[in-house]
Amino acid sequence: MTRYHCHRSQMDCGQWRRSLAVLLALSICVFFVSHCRADLPATIARLKPSVVLVGIYGATDNPRFTFRGTGFAVSSGLELVTNAHVLPETLPNGPGQQLAVMTWSGVGQWNLRKVNVVTLDRSRDLALLRMDGPAIPPLKIAEVPAQEGQAIAFMGFPIGGVLGYSHVTHRGVISSVAALALPPPTSQYLTEKTVAQLRRGNFQIYQLDATAYPGNSGGPVFDPETGELVAVINSVMIKGARETAISNPTGISYAIPAAHVLTLLQESRP
């Protein structure tokens, strides 16, 4: 009877230890999930001054500022990154017209700043701008490539002025790391854009499970906890290359890895 009692005690002890381990693991998971959720509002508040409206200023236009897309500060805080397609094909050179950005200094407070184009990388749809005046907080660029399943958030101005000029943040995960221009199964699916991209050289892009809208182009994709730049939202060039053959676009969002922003900055240095 005593031996049987000891055996039961050992079994109960093992079950208790396993239950304790499960509870501990669940507690850790809850802590990290809660921690990330708690950090996102703080990250958003910290990043807002770094994210700008990109557009055209016209002294005689109505409205004077025409919104075209989103951008964000890097490097010294005077350099800004956006999509190349956000800029007009022909830069404004008429009287009183200028490429410009609007920087945020508080709720409903926007400051107009004139900018110049430093570098255009149309093959990766990136543009580097420089503005005059005081610097704004730059985003730190992640040096390690993102991974599938990684949590992300992105900030911008979807639908532009229709919803008012307010920062809007979406969150999701990187659902896939894939090639920009996929080799078509047959020649009937070849398009001018696909052929041009294949000739320029393919590169990896991030597919996101969150939906970006017009106005989000050029906006930062960032780590919700650290705020580090992970990628740049792109809703035109990449969809044109990957979804041309789809009669009803999927609404999936894509982004250009931050490594290409680092390359853009390096190439722009004297």
Q: Which positions ≥6 away from 262 have C-beta within 8 Å?
A: 141, 143
Q: In 113-132, which positions are buried (b, 16+ CB within 10 angstroms) versus exposed (e)? A: bebeeebebebbbbbbbebe
In this predicted model, what pLDDT tens digit does every residue of 237-264 receive, in sequence order? 555 444 443 344 455 789 999 999 999 9
- CA 63 to chain centroid, in Å, comes to 28
- Are 216 and 54 in contact by the 8 Å Cβ rule? The answer is no
- Are 208 and 29 in contact by the 8 Å Cβ rule? The answer is no
- Ranking 53-57, 58-62, 139-143, 204-208 by mean pLDDT, the lowest is 58-62
Cα separation, 89 vs 234, in Å, equals 17
> Band of the pLDDT at 32, cuts 50, 70, 90?
very low
Say if residue 150's pLDDT is above 90.
yes
> Band of the pLDDT at 73, cuts 50, 70, 90?
very high
82: three-class secondary structure by DSSP:
strand
In this predicted model, what pLDDT tens digit does every residue of 102-130 receive, in sequence order? 999 887 789 999 999 999 998 889 999 99
pTM (2 d.p.): 0.76
Mean pLDDT of 39-58: 95
Tokens 């236009």 appear where? 61
Percent share of the chain, pLDDT over 90 = 51
Cα separation, 222 vs 258, in Å, equals 10
In this predicted model, what pLDDT tens digit does every residue of 159-203 receive, in sequence order? 876 767 899 999 999 999 987 754 444 445 445 555 555 555 567
Cα separation, 43 vs 144, in Å, equals 19
pLDDT at site 112: 94
Cα separation, 100 vs 88, in Å, equals 12
